[in-house]
Amino acid sequence: MAGVSLKCGDCGALLKSVQEAQEHGELTSHFNFSESTEAVLNLVCTDCGKPCRSKTESDLHTKRTGHTEFVDKTSEAAKPINLEAPKTVAESEEAVDASSSSQSEEMVVPEVDKKLLEELELMGFPTARATRALHYSGNTSLEAAVNWVVEHENDPDIDQMPMVPLNSKVEAPKSSLTPEEMKLKAQELRERARKKKEEEEKRMEREKEKERIRVGKELLEAKRIEEENERKRLLALRKAEKEEEKRAREKIRQKLEEDKAERRRRLGLPPEDPAAVKPSSPVVEEKKISLPVRPATKAEQMRECLRSLKQNHKGDDAKVKRAFQTLLTYIGNVAKNPDEEKFRKIRLTNQTFQDRVGALKGGIEFLELCGFEKVEDDEFLFLSRNKVDMAVLNSAGSELNSAINNPFFGVL
């Protein structure tokens, strides 16, 4: 299908003709156009007949006038685009003049001051760059040429030899400086260029430092928020543990009362008079004490891991207790014999380990909190000698003893 529009590669605008593309380029400095089969949108307002070339333009028209009905006449207005730009009479004459002049004129390298050129070459500039700098800076002074190089050092043609028509050759002005003055001037220019480069480097370093400070602040803020969330989670966890212990004590007390009443019934004794029963001391609401919140310790993480293990397997107390005792044996062996590798390496596929610890959710996580790591494609749990921390092992042993001996640990 023939192209029906020109599409701007910079902003995506669709244009009906080459003339519109030229006007778009003059307004936006966009000159990357390609032929497109997508037609320019033509939405005609049914109320006032105004054509709109885009959805944005129709939305603005609706906002200004309140007209909401449009008819899409894009297909009717679409025509193959003519890629030849219209030429004016003046342009045609200029083209003829340019053609005739290009045939008659010969392009040559412009003449520049030889001494200035030598000085620039001594300063390390290539001949083509030095010639271009002298020519476009007016061929007046060494300083002007160096300044031109500094301003145009990123030009793609900076190292191409300039060419001018033969009849436009201008004789270069002669320098009025002595050789000594020229050397001093060149040294001054080199020093000035060096200082300018150092100032630019310092400016870039300051910008980088500001960026580093900004990123550092963002990281600190993110860490603070994370610690705050962790403190809130631990507070909620401690509160839940206290509530759990309170409910467990109440449940045990009720069980004792029921057993006592059952024994009296079996012995043929009358039920205990509720009025004679010594009223239980009222539950004193614990006074809330505001304590500084701290991040979770290793011991608290271990306690939470053991509590989760018991909660996940609350239907089998014997299996949970056996898992706790097995973990205590592993930790005790390492604490007593830290140099023996056989106590610091556990095969995950071992059936005994799987039955006692590995198959229970939370068992392997507890060993990892103690310093064990999975190695050899997750075949072993291994605690390297340099990572054996007796304080961590002692904390693990204390938490396991508490979990085994405390009847209220993870009851609810």
The mean per-residue pLDDT over the stretch 356-384 comes to 89
With a cut of 80, say whether residue 4 has pLDDT above it: no
Distances (CA, A) of 75 to 70, 125, 220: 14, 60, 59
Q: Which residue carries 């400095």 as its tokens?
A: 29
| pLDDT over 70 percentage in the chain | 82
**In this predicted model, what pLDDT tens digit does every residue of 205-231 receive, in sequence order?**
999 999 889 998 989 999 899 999 999
Distances (CA, A) of 378 to 68, 357, 373, 381: 66, 16, 9, 7
Domains and CATH numbers, the chain: 5-77 (no CATH), 89-176 (1.10.8.10), 297-405 (1.20.58.2190)
The mean per-residue pLDDT over the stretch 339-347 comes to 90
Averaged confidence pLDDT in the chain: 80
**In the prediction, which pLDDT does 173 show?**
44
Calpha distance 379→402 (Å, rounded): 31
Helix (H, G, I), strand (E, B) or coil at 345: strand
**In this predicted model, what pLDDT tens digit does every residue of 243-265 receive, in sequence order?**
989 999 999 999 998 888 888 88
Structure tokens at 238: 């401690």
Binned at pLDDT 50, 70 and 90, residue 94 comes out as: low
Phi, psi at 286, each rounded to 5°:
-65, 135
Q: Which residue carries 């002595």 as its tokens?
A: 178
More confident residue, 367 or 184: 367
DSSP designation for 397: H
**In the prediction, which pLDDT does 182 show?**
64
Calpha distance 54→51 (Å, rounded): 9
**In the prediction, which pLDDT does 326 show?**
93
